Structure 1
Amino acid sequence: MKYFTSKKLNEHLTLITTITAENLFLVEGSNKAILIDTSEGAGDLKGFVEKLTSKPIEVILTHGHIDHAMGAVAFEKVYMNPADKAVYEAMSDIPQRQEYIEMSVPKEKQAAVKQLALLNADGGAEKFLPLKDGQRFDLDGTTLEVYSLAGHTPGMMVVLLVEDRILIAGDAANTATFLFDDYCASVSDYQNNLQKLAKRLAGRYDKVYLSHHELEAPKDLLQRVSSVCQDVLDGKADNQRFDFMGKTAWIAKEVGPGFIRKDGGFGNIIYNKDNI
């Protein structure tokens, strides 16, 4: 069973996909490499990445959720927005992470994943370096800029690959943006953050990459998700019920398998009716 697979997207950007279907991104410059997100802490991610590059590896965590941050403790230099410290700590326990892994893989592979040892992520956030809005990482020829897009989590960040004109939106805005747990912003605050970032980054990217489901999203994703938020605020949402790890929420635009919208649109939110 392969926990990780990889695919070159361009000469210095590699997509790493996990068995639980997260998209991680490895960006290489001439002097070092940066890994964006680290999955659940199962499998030898560090060893896998070291086979892809011989350069020193640093890690950027887009946010503190189970499926993005728990493998970070295997690396020496990790950046995360301090606003997600509580999120990370709330999700670092092994039983919760094991439950997520088992529910995220095909049935025929569940027996195998139950045997995977998980890294002990407790206390990991204490060692992380602060990741700040507008922070730049110069890889000598390849530049990354990191921007805040609070909503999915308080410390949610997106990454702009400047020369490539690629925005890695991750979970900040996607086909099913989770906006329903205790750490999420209200729909109205999230929409405001989307609109501000869209203006701030206008004209600076041509592609948008996601962490789940589809790899690539339309260039105007931020505006599309903002429009979905407006429908919720206007009482025009479809409100399809969604149950996930003990919580009930509502999908704004009705979807079929794979969170594909039935109306043919792209971008969605899954929200809490008590936090609009």
Structure 2
Amino acid sequence: MGNLSAIKINDGLIRINERNEQGLNVDAWLVLGNEKAVLIDAVQDTILLHEMVTSLTHLPLEVIITHGHPDHAGKGLRAFMEHGVPVYIHPDDRPLLQKRNLFTTEETEQMLSLTEGMQFELGNRTLEILECAGHTPGSICVMDFNRQEVFTGDAIGSGVFWMQLEESLEMHAFVENLLHFKQNLVGMKDMIIYPGHIDQQTCQMGMQYIDDILHICSKLCTDGACGEAGEMELDGTKLFYRGIGYGQLHLMLYNPEKL
């Protein structure tokens, strides 16, 4: 379907990838139980996502949006709502959908709210919501504890991690949230992370990746800003940042004024 492709990861998981020649490369994840299915994120530009998903499964469907950026709550999301598919997002990220004129206030009010510990029963498997605010105020992850699979959107990046945005939290607040997130993962030694831009990763990400993020972010909070300075323009706004990497975290961009 144009720029969309579907790749089977295992019997209960399909990766849906959208890419184009301008550099767009983003992933959504279709999680399949024996009674229900959940689509995690809705890519960016395509309006054919609903058509693809319903060709892949006939199970009753719900949609979870990991955060309110246009490459995860994309143009194709509206078709799910028009077909009566429940769409969930953390309430703290609803304003982002309106800020970028992705959805009207009325449309975002139709979306259901995600909260920490909320569960989605798919029959033979359960998904649980874990909050991890930082990249955005309402960033969440979706965990399957039995299968040790976690779907993270952009909450912890994909090997490249953006914390330089206007809506990104201060670094010390993110560190606190990430520590809380990690506490939920005790015993998940074989955990596999499925991020929002999987082609950015340089290796299969798991607990070591989270530890590497915690190491560098904690060091920034205690020792102060470091790394190469740069600037970028996003949505007409200039953003000044520094960039640093450590271990499996290839590159993190952050605002040195928000430590």
Query: TM-score under structure 1 normalisation?
Result: 0.81
Map of 1:1-276 to 2, 5 A cutoff? 2-19=2-19, 20-70=24-74, 71-75=76-80, 76-93=85-102, 121-123=103-105, 124-174=107-157, 175-204=159-188, 206-212=191-197, 213-214=200-201, 216-233=204-221, 234-235=223-224, 237-245=226-234, 246-253=237-244, 261=245, 265-266=248-249, 268-276=251-259
Name the CA distance, whole Å, in 1 between partners of 2:195 and 2:58. Answer: 26
Which amino acid in 1 is paired with 2:78?
Answer: V
What is the number of residues matched between the two proteins?
241
Counterpart contact for 1:232–1:252, Cα < 8 Å = no
User: Cα offset for 1:125?
Assistant: 1.1
Local SS of the residue matching 1:152: coil
**Where in structure 2 are there 5+ consecutive unaligned residues?**
none
Could you say which structure has the higher strand fraction?
2
Q: Percent identity?
A: 28
| Distance verdict in 2 for CA 1:268–1:193, change over 3 Å | farther
Local SS of the residue matching 1:150: coil
**Where in structure 1 are there 5+ consecutive unaligned residues?**
94-120, 254-260
| Distance verdict in 2 for CA 1:227–1:194, change over 3 Å | same
| Distance verdict in 2 for CA 1:132–1:267, change over 3 Å | farther
User: Cα offset for 1:268?
Assistant: 4.2
Q: What do the CA deviations read for 1:16-37 (whole angstroms, capped 9, x no partner)?
A: 1001211110011111110000
Name the CA distance, whole Å, in 2 between partners of 1:196 and 1:239. Answer: 29
| Distance verdict in 2 for CA 1:199–1:267, change over 3 Å | farther
Which amino acid in 2 is paired with 1:210?
Answer: P
User: Cα offset for 1:264?
Assistant: 5.4
Which amino acid in 2 is paired with 1:225?
Answer: I
Two-structure CA RMSD over aligned residues (Å): 2.0
Query: TM-score under structure 2 normalisation?
Result: 0.86
| Distance verdict in 2 for CA 1:264–1:182, change over 3 Å | closer
